[in-house]
Structure 1
Amino acid sequence: MNGASREALSAAREQLDALTDSTSVDAAGLAEELAAVTALLHGEGTLRRALSDPAKSGEAKAALVRQLFTGQVGGATLDLLSGMVRSRWSQPRDLVDAIEELANTADLIVAQRRGALDDVEDELFRFGRILSGSSELRSALANQVANGEAKAGLLHSLLGGRANPVTERLVTRLVTAPRGRSLESGIESLSKLAAARRSRVVAEVTSATPLSDQQKQRLADALARIYGRQVHLNLDVDPAVLGGVRVRIGDEVINGAIADRLEEASRRMAG
């Protein structure tokens, strides 16, 4: 997103936080309703364009939201959607992407309230690794012929009772409504969203052998000093990584002996 859409999304995030600051708001129900609206707008181009049309007044678009969704969704969802359509969006898809992000964020808030956000982050990462390592599973979940119910059933057989319910809901939503994304990129986006919920950076760390608790803590502390934010480590082991650790944060990759690289990065930051 760029320009107006970035500002609109930022305002929507603030509104969601304000709504869910009250524990009386059913965040799980909010997530479900927002996901349903996402699916509707994804399939209805005319409505999507009408709700993001810059030529229409914000109040006119909010009135259309009330006309369409009153009685179909709860008051919190209605307020959130009304506020979003009053904002200006650079393109219609941005509005739908934003509603989907808020649906996923509302589910992450459920996990956060239960003290399970770390578990959800780790489970998303592990599922992504399983997915990348199994072409058979990837094909089954990406199969465009199979219906959503069959895919949801397969996921439940894999995750039900083994993963946090929030993790299962997020992954099921992605698999049954990918909206043109690959499963890998979708899982990565969910992981970043979970990390952002805790204002943390996600670092994918690959080492030749498992890191000790002390090594993990030193690495996390060093990266936190460099990036100025708490860093969550997603750990993987690959014997092909010789003599050090590979760290990827977003598009940035630190290769080689970790102590030397971090010392070099620290000097650059200090300079």
Structure 2
Amino acid sequence: MNFRGASAEAFDALTRAIDGTLDQADDAAQVGADLFSVAEVLRDEPALRRIATDVSVDAAAKAGLVKELFTGKVSAPVVALLGDAVVRRWTLPRDLPRALEELGVVATVKSSGDDATRLSAELFTVGQVFQANPDLRSALSDPARSTKDKRELVHGLLAGKTLPATIALVDQALTGTHRTVSVALDSYQQTAAAANGRTVATVTVAKPLSDADLDRITAALGREYDREIQANVVIDPAVIGGVKVEIGHEVIDGTVANRLDGVRRKLAV
């Protein structure tokens, strides 16, 4: 998640503070749920959001306000983190709930413990399922359906098949804070991979790769980017052959389809 100016500094500081919050809490998953709920309140209450981010309001008064509002509703470590958040400077009022949501994602990812790699892979798989099923995608993006109804639909599909953290993050993706559910899941997947010290690469090929080929590609990317790579493989017969790799905003397209497009463009000149 990208922030500018003062918000970037505030978010960096809170990101460093979240581990202390989790150390004080009994349940990392609950910290994530609490942060999601506070972010939702701040989105739904513009007056509260403005006060919480107004630099002209006394910092101690703002910290006291959030303590009064949220004590007993969220865990004590989260109340303390909120007090830290509201005394910081924010470039835009909406950046505060955005930052709290992202911290909620971090807490939820950390609740998965050693299963962070599995969590990232499950988020990718769920995203692929949504993309491949237009009816399901339409149901989840239908504004006439309540978030509760959408969550019940997803729980019916995922319960007992994925980590609890996966379901929690899919639930959050359904709240509409990102442009689409798929965009939200992609963002959460990146966070999950980063928590395990990895970077996500999407590898598109015409047919399934052998384990040896996937290991070779992953190792080569790891050497190129000097970090561990988590490769998500997408099968797309339209690429014909070769490999297309996407890491962040970088694209390495070595597919036959891309080379043919290049030839067509030259012939059209």
1:140 and 2:142 equivalent? no
Unmatched segments (≥5 aa) in structure 1: 259-271
Q: Which residue of 2 aligns with 1:262?
A: none
Q: Which residue of 2 aligns with 1:96?
A: 97
Aligned-partner Cα distance in 1 for 2:255–2:48: 54
Aligned partner of residue 144 in structure 1, secondary structure: coil
Aligned-partner Cα distance in 2 for 1:103–1:195: 15
Aligned-partner Cα distance in 1 for 2:21–2:68: 22
Give the residue type in structure 1 aligned to 2:213: Q
Deviates more, 1:40-49 or 1:129-138: 129-138
Q: Which residue of 1 aligns with 2:34?
A: 33
Cα–Cα, structure 1 residues 44 and 134, in superposed 2: closer, same or farther, change >3 Å?
same
Aligned partner of residue 243 in structure 1, secondary structure: coil
Q: Which residue of 1 aligns with 2:12?
A: 10
Count of aligned residue pairs for this structure pair: 254
Q: Which residue of 2 aligns with 1:221?
A: 219
1:111 and 2:112 equivalent? yes
* Residue among 19, 22, 40 paired with 2:21: 19
Aligned-partner Cα distance in 1 for 2:20–2:140: 36
Q: Which residue of 2 aligns with 1:242?
A: 240
Displacement of 1:180:
5.3
Displacement of 1:170:
0.8
TM-score for the superposition, normalised by structure 2: 0.90
Q: Which residue of 1 aligns with 2:159?
A: 160
Give the residue type in structure 2 aligned to 1:55: S
Displacement of 1:16:
0.5
Displacement of 1:19:
2.5
TM-score for the superposition, normalised by structure 1: 0.89
In 2, are the aligned partners of 1:25 and 1:76 still within 8 Å (CA)? Answer: no
In 1, are the aligned partners of 2:151 and 2:171 still within 8 Å (CA)? Answer: yes
Structure 1 residues 122-179: Cα deviation after superposition (integer angstroms, max 9, x where no partner): 111011111112211111011111112211110011111111111011101221x113
Q: Which residue of 2 aligns with 1:49?
A: 50
Give the residue type in structure 2 aligned to 1:68: L
Aligned-partner Cα distance in 2 for 1:128–1:139: 14
Structure 1 runs of 4+ aligned residues shifted over 4 Å read: none
Aligned-partner Cα distance in 2 for 1:94–1:157: 33
Between the aligned residues of both structures, percent identity stands at 39
Aligned-partner Cα distance in 1 for 2:227–2:19: 20
Aligned-partner Cα distance in 2 for 1:56–1:125: 43
Aligned-partner Cα distance in 2 for 1:71–1:212: 53
Aligned-partner Cα distance in 2 for 1:220–1:136: 34
Aligned partner of residue 233 in structure 1, secondary structure: strand
Aligned partner of residue 72 in structure 2, secondary structure: coil
Aligned partner of residue 120 in structure 1, secondary structure: helix
Aligned-partner Cα distance in 1 for 2:160–2:238: 34
Q: Which residue of 2 aligns with 1:85?
A: 86
In 2, are the aligned partners of 1:19 and 1:25 still within 8 Å (CA)? Answer: no
Structure 1 residues 12-42: Cα deviation after superposition (integer angstroms, max 9, x where no partner): 11110222246x5311111111111111111
Q: Which residue of 2 aligns with 1:266?
A: none
* Residue among 179, 192, 195 paired with 1:194: 192
Structure 1 residues 25-64: Cα deviation after superposition (integer angstroms, max 9, x where no partner): 3111111111111111110000011101122233221111
Unmatched segments (≥5 aa) in structure 2: 257-269
In 1, are the aligned partners of 2:22 and 2:31 still within 8 Å (CA)? Answer: no
